[in-house]
Amino acid sequence: MTTTSIDEKQSASAHHEDNDLADLVRDIDTGEINELAVVAEGEERTTWFVWILVLCSTISGLLFGYDTGVISGALVSIGSDLGPEQLSNGQKEFITSSTTLGALLGGLVAGVLSDWTGRRPVLGIADIIFIGGAIAQAVCHDVWSMIGGRFLIGVGVGLAACIAPLYIQELSPTRLRGRMVVLNVVMITLGQVIAYGIGAGFANVHGGWRWMVGLGAVPAGIQFVLLFFLPESPRILIRRGDIDKARGIMAKIYAFASAEQVDLKVKVLHAAVQKSIEISNTTTLVQRAQSMLFDPVNRRALIVGCGMQAFQQLCGFNTLMYYSATLFKEIGFDQPTAVGLIISGTNFIFTLIALKWIDRIGRRKIMIWSAPGMVFGLTLASISFHYLTRKTGGDLVDGTKYSTAWSAIVLVSMIIFVASYATGLGNVPWQQGELFGLEVRGLGTSLSTATNWAGNLLIGATYLSLMAKITPAGAFGFYAGLCLLGWLFVLACFPETAGLSLEEVKMVFKHGFGIRESQRLRKAKREIREKERDQARRDG
């Protein structure tokens, strides 16, 4: 039940009946908080409807993680099955980077496509592509057909990586939005753990790598069926004029709120969507794309979204996902895929920590605290590789007997790095959809996701060559330097968005990057809740 008195409820209801869409749009434009518009009873509580919806959606994350993680084990067990006696470094880079190139292209079109078709159909298209790519890989017999299958998988990954978080954000209660998106990242890391586990299980089976890549079709098929039972985003429904259906979904999302509060939520959402429709109807896609650069609010949001996604990839994390088995084999571990499972397991466990704390601590604080751990882990890895490879001139030479002590320290440094990454950087950039207004949300998330995959492509395609050119010690030292720059970017530009509605986040970028403004808005909302609790206590 609401915490205000009956008279106050009636007064608030009458007030808001008189408040038309123009007034609400004015509130959004000026950055002033409309007190009753942003508070709903039970926002911190999650219904079974939301849990089932999010869990079905996060199968996309599972597919993302599985299909990016499975290649690590497959590369060390393909052997001569694709023609050459042994895959060269260049062929390995082509196979891994083809997935990233596909994801870059998929990510570029995903957001804009979802604005046109809705969020749910794009997830269905991604599932069909996942199934086709998994089968294509499982039956291929030469390097180029493998590259083609991996490229197809990449397109599916790009679509899913962009739309699944966006879909979840638009269907989650405001105060739990960050946690719900992190649940998608949990599924990404779980997918990687499953991929490493299956890789270890099939490591000594002839042609086992075909089972590794082919099994990715199973969860894609399951999600494709489940999508027929999931609702569309309320924001998309309102854009289409289907207010009643949107109100029904909002009532299920905010199941503990009063009917008046749900109606108010829908009215505020309608106001924001109405403004988005007006912008969409009076501008072309090209003009909206230009507004991403020339409108200060959109430009700042884009800088933050793309900057965080670039940081996530340029730190070098995905090189561990793609090449960890290869790396651990070179430094002397007998079961490299099983050791890689330790890395992916660490990623999974610490993502669960982020799941618990990201909405309580906040996105900005969790990044400020975790990024230095990444710098430390990579620096320790660089030092370890320096001493590990002194007898081989700084290079890793396959078959060399390296010091087990330094090899163990390399593993420890990787665990520190991955634990720090999973706590913050692995999750926070995927909150990107909340940075953009609805009229450019699809485009903004597409550009941010494309930045992620462009960085991924750059890192994945150069990692082995970088290791050869400047030695492993130099490569990991280089990644440590990039992490330090990323941390400075967070300190200077990344505002706190936890606890703010998607419509309120846009206010943050009105004047600058909004670090202080976001704190002001969050403080104002806390004061509103405290005022209501005090009023409830006085009313008995």
Report the alpha-carbon distance of residue 261 to residue 50 in Å, rounded: 18
Torsion angle, CA of 402/404/410/413, rounded to 10 degrees?
-170
Report the alpha-carbon distance of residue 49 to residue 252 in Å, rounded: 7
Quote the DSSP letter at residue 40. Answer: -
Evaluated on CA atoms 515, 520, 525, 526, the torsion sign reads positive
User: How many CB atoms are closer than 10 A to CB 422?
Assistant: 24
How far does CA 214 lie from the centroid of its chain? Answer: 24
Report the alpha-carbon distance of residue 199 to residue 318 in Å, rounded: 17
Residue type, 400: T
Quick one: which H or E segment has residue 219?
A: helix 217-226
Contact 322, 170 (CB under 8 A): no
How far does CA 9 lie from the centroid of its chain? Answer: 39
133: burial class by Cβ within 10 Å (0-12, 13-18, 19+)? buried
Angle at the Cα of 341 (from 430 to 86), degrees rounded to 5? 105
pLDDT of the residue at 39: 52
pLDDT of the residue at 223: 93
pTM of the model: 0.75
Contact 146, 214 (CB under 8 A): no
The residues near 395 (Cβ < 8 Å, ≥ 6 apart) are 389, 468, 471, 472
Give, for all 540 residues of the chain, the pLDDT tens digit: 444 444 544 444 444 444 444 444 454 454 444 434 445 555 566 678 888 888 899 998 898 888 877 887 788 788 788 877 788 878 887 888 888 889 889 988 888 888 888 889 999 999 999 999 999 999 998 889 999 999 999 999 889 888 888 888 888 877 777 788 888 888 988 888 888 888 878 877 888 889 988 999 999 999 999 999 889 888 888 888 888 898 998 888 888 777 887 888 788 778 777 777 777 777 777 888 888 888 898 999 999 999 999 999 999 887 776 667 777 887 878 777 777 788 888 888 998 888 888 888 888 999 999 999 999 999 999 999 899 888 888 887 777 788 888 888 989 999 999 999 999 999 899 888 888 887 788 889 889 988 988 888 888 778 878 888 888 899 999 999 999 999 999 999 999 988 787 767 877 888 888 888 888 888 877 777 777 777 777 776
